[in-house]
Every structure is written in structure tokens, then in C-alpha cells.
Amino acid sequence: MNSSELFLSFVRRVIGAFLLVLVVAMAGHAQGDQTVRMSSKEVAVFTNQTTNASSAVFPDNAYGCSFLPYQTSAFVGTIDVEWAPPVPVGTTPTYIQLAEASYSSADTSSTHVLQVGGYFPNMRSTVTVSAGSLNAEYTASSSPCPLYGAGLASNGPAPPITCDKNLTFTAANGSTQTLILPLQTGDTVILCGATVSFAAATTTGNVQIFYSALTGCGSVGTVSWYGSTTSATPQIFNIPFQIRSALPSAYPYSCWVNNSGSTATISISYASVHGL
């Protein structure tokens, strides 16, 4: 074998070795590729909607997670996400509600979201309007998500509240004062629990928590919590449940009233939440 043949043989071996390494590398990549590839879509559903209506069917791209963000303007009514199971040709489909939000008082807070997980073709939204208006958009992702949000509230799916703040203060008898101010404009202040104790024996009277339109608590909304005091002592109130404004856009400021006959000490856990 001359030198030219030796060189060509060497080149062929190098090329063969390179191809073998490439095949092994590609096989390993194919087996270990755990990348999740996602796509998304967004379309307008309602714009300044003031009357009852059903939207067009949402785009069907086999998405696994669907959202309906909507923005209210003094809105009273309902908005939902609904789905029609397959039916024979020529048969009118029956829509089944998957998620709904309902507002009995005018709602003017920021964007809310209805969530539906899983693949539901033939989805749409229906709105009933008693007052005000709303906008809504449909957005979806191919990434998976739970069927509903983390919790169900009066106005549809809602995340749980995490109370990360606390406050303790005293209030003289006969006083009315602001309890907690929102951290940001548009926040809803949610009281997650409280303990009320007194510096001395109380008299026949009461203590209250209500929400006001004014920081000085001059405009009383609905009383959210009420406790009657007596001449018995010692007297302690434990409030183990959440308290929030029924209409945060109109009455955002929490207030305390002490008509107990004694100085009161209030310890509260709370959160100032945006977008409820």
C-alpha cells in the first residue's frame, strides 16, 4: 500500500469515527431532552359590553390551560366560561358552565381572572349585565394547569389569602378610628383574624369593625363585625375568620369603633391585596 492509499484509509477512519460519535450524541440528546415546548394565544372576547351576550367560540389549538381575564366598570351581573360537548351534526349543542363570577354590587376593581384547566373544545363566554360594563379577553397556553384556581370564592375561582402582616394598637372608649390603610391604591384590606381585650371592666355597649369611604371613617358602610360588651370581666373577643369589605372600590378603609366603656387592645393579622 503506497502513501496515498494509507492517507485515504486514515481519512476514512477519521470520518467514520466522527459519524459514530455524532449518532451516539444525537441518540443521547433525544432520550434526555425534557424541554417543555409551550405556545399561547390571546383574543378579544367582550369590549365595553353593556348587554347580555355570548361570545364566539374560542380558538381551538388543543391548549391545556385557559384563562379569561376581565375588567369591570361599575359592573353588576355574571360572566362565565362554558363548554359544549360534541353532538351529532344538526343538533344544537348544550353549553355547560365550567367557571363563573357573579357581582351583586357594582364592581370597579382591577382585572379578575377565570381559569379552566384541561382540554375543552367549543369553549365560549356568556355575560349577563344588570348594570355597568366589562371587557374580557381569552388567553391560553399549552402548558398544563389545574382545572380550577386554588380556591372557590363568592365571585368564582380565587387564590387563598396569605396574611403576612400584623398590627396591635389601643383604642380609647368612645373612639372611632382607622384600623388599617391599604398599602396601595386599589388594594383590598383583608383581616384574617383578631383578638380584642380590655384594660378594665367593660359596661353594656359594643365594639365594631366596618369599612368606610373615607380615611377618617366618617362614612360608614356595612358593619362587618359586631361584638356586644357586658359588665362581666374579664372579657376577650377572638375573631377567627376573615373580614373584608363587601365593596372595596367604594369602601376601602377598615375602621374600629369602641363603645365598650373601657380602653381596648386589638391585635390583628391582615393582608393588603391588589386585584381582588
pLDDT value at position 197? 94
209 and 229 together in one domain: yes
pLDDT band, residue 186 (cuts 50/70/90):
confident
Q: For the chain, state the CA radius of gyration.
A: 30
Range of the domain at 208: 165-274
Q: Taking phi first (over 0 means left), then psi (-120 to 50 degrees means alpha), and beta for anything else, what does residue 35 get?
A: beta
∠ Cα 100 75 182 (to 5°): 95
The cell 380565587 sits on which residue?
A: 158
Read off the DSSP letter of residue 271: E
45 and 136 together in one domain: yes
Read off the DSSP letter of residue 70: E
pLDDT value at position 155? 65
Using the 3D structure, point to which of 102, 126, 157 is the last residue of a domain: 157
Using the 3D structure, point to which of 122, 157, 192 is the last residue of a domain: 157
> 8-36, pLDDT tens digit by residue?
564 456 455 554 544 444 444 433 333 34
133 and 192 together in one domain: no
99 and 48 together in one domain: yes
181 and 248 together in one domain: yes
169 and 266 together in one domain: yes
With a cut of 80, say whether residue 258 has pLDDT above it: yes
Read off the DSSP letter of residue 143: S
pLDDT value at position 1? 55
Q: Tell me, yes or no, whether 24 lies in a domain.
A: no
Using the 3D structure, point to which of 157, 188, 219 is the last residue of a domain: 157
Stretch among 149-153, 160-164, 182-186 having the lowest mean pLDDT: 149-153
State the Cα–Cα distance between residues 245 and 187, nearest whole angstrom. Answer: 11
Phi, psi of 159 (to 5 degrees): -75, 155
State the Cα–Cα distance between residues 209 and 223, nearest whole angstrom. Answer: 6
147 and 210 together in one domain: no
Read off the DSSP letter of residue 160: P
Look at the chain and report how many structural domains it folds into. 2
Q: What is the CATH number of the domain that holds 143?
A: 2.60.120
> 43-61, pLDDT tens digit by residue?
899 999 999 999 999 988 7
